[in-house]
Amino acid sequence: FRRYQQRLAERKTPYPVVPGLTDSRRAELQNTIAEHRQKYPAFSLLANHVLSNMKIRKSEQRRDALLARLNVDTDQLLAAPKLYEVTPDILDSFTSRSAPVIARAQQCHNEEMRRLKLPWWKKIMG
């Protein structure tokens, strides 16, 4: 793993080395870039705005996908067949790949099983 990390570090140079570029010319170009950035700050503001917009759009897309999946799951559950009509093909369409959904379903199932095992008088009491 260390060798792999060393190879990665060797591949990544902080700045691309341009042949024929001297240190004085590089410093001069860096000063020119710094002056341009100072003279036109709107470019950096625009870049920040575009980056933040991309993050916002990504989160909106994630939220929309989640809502769509919830709507599909809701429709599927409302149109679910009776238990005696279920076949293995239909059963596969109801399995969830979401860990929180699986955990909550197991928790609800265990609570229901515990409630069913209670004596009749405890069921009445609460």
Query: Percent of the chain scored above 70 by pLDDT?
Result: 95
pLDDT of residue 36: 94
Most confident of 1-10, 59-68, 69-78, 90-99: 59-68
| Tens digits of residue pLDDT in 37-65 | 999 999 989 988 998 999 999 999 999 99
By the 10 Å C-beta count (0-12 exposed, 13-18 middle, 19+ buried), 99 is classed as: exposed
pLDDT in tens, 97-119: 778 888 888 999 999 999 999 88
- The C-alpha atoms of residue 88 and residue 7 are separated, in whole angstroms, by 51
